[in-house]
Amino acid sequence: MGDTQVGKQMEEEKIPMMSPYKMGKFELSHRVVLAPLTRSRSFGNVPQPHAVLYYSQRTTKGGLLISEAAGVSDTAQAYRDMPGIWTKEQVEAWKPIVDAVHAKGGIFFCQIWHAGRVSNSVFQPNGQAPISSTDNGLPPQVRANEINVVEFSPPRKLSTEEVPTVVNDFRLAAKNAIEAGFDGVEIHGAHGYLIDQFLKDGINDRKDRYGGCLENRCRFALEIVEAVVDEIGADKVGIRLSPFSSYSQSSDSNPEALALYMAESLNKYKILYCSAVEPRMKTIDEKVVCPYSLVPMRKSFKGTFISAGGYDMEEGNNVVAERRADLVAYGRLFISNPDLPKRFELKAPLNKYNRETFYTPHPVIGYTDYPSLETRV
């Protein structure tokens, strides 16, 4: 085989997601990202020692991992046994987990969040009502494992004067994350949680400076971004958005305008990355269509762009090859395949995931017992 043919064959065999990428000061060895995934195993909202193995299993040298959502305050929690990052105890508990990821050469960002109305008073201080942008509550919903049904308490609308306090909670959480050793933070502005409850006009019914027009509805999110950037530096800050999602009744009348406004506004703060959730397909007249696209948002945002949306390997490769995103985040496949990047590289078979164990409290089953290629017998 001639040199030209060999070169052509090698070019055809390249796997786009396994190519290196420079994200700010971080040298990534591949483009497969561990998405932030709620696992409900942080007893009493404190990260546990079993998380050391869970995250280190999914670490590769030069790989990017985003932690499960960590609450910014004692009012932030949505479900039982989710981790926090607002107390000294929590910060100390995160440290060995972060150290384990760094020991294997991984890059680790902490996702910071507030659930807002997607909560129940049993998770709130003194049994109080969850806070939100609105007084309108949510009906019960089935969790992603398609088994557990979650009920939510009627929320209390934050007063205008209270909003800066919540912004400050995010700032302090970012500071704590850096103290814990994380390389940066991802602000959770997606999936119908508190920030999304301000962004979306299907939820936000406010009449003050945080409601009404698009600029007002985005003010809360951008104030959080500014506060976090001022605290830890723009080169350590990412954000996750889902403008096209209606999860937890978080719809918007003009998601395209919302996506573009946020992408363009974020450029002012020069944050490291924006992670966006792919618009979902819809069946219309028995045809599967998708009326929206992340491409305009990707073109508008000047930093690293991460896309997520239930991709398989081929779809993820296409996203990178077509430059629709720089990196691709994986959730369920990374839960069940701790060595997912290696499997993609080798085009190896994937383990099947079990939804029934997504949110159980067991420290091993459905958590650290999925085999890697090296441990499989």
- The three-class DSSP label of residue 77 is coil
How far is 68 from 109, CA to CA, in rounded Å?
Answer: 10
Q: Please give the structure tokens belonging to residue 3.
A: 């040199």
Q: Looking at the annotation, which residues are catalytic?
A: 193
Nearest in space to 27 (alpha carbons), one of 65, 62, 59, 64: 62
Structure tokens at 367: 């958590």
Task: Give yes or no for a contact between 211 and 133, defined as CB atoms under 8 angstroms apart.
Answer: yes
Q: Which two tokens stand for residue 125?
A: 């201080």
Nearest to 218 by CA among 183, 171, 255, 246: 255
CA distances in angstroms from 148 to 22, 37, 140, 142, listed in the order given:
40, 16, 10, 6
Question: Whose CA is closest to 72, among 211, 187, 140, 169?
Answer: 169
Quote the longest CA-to-CA distance of the chain. 75
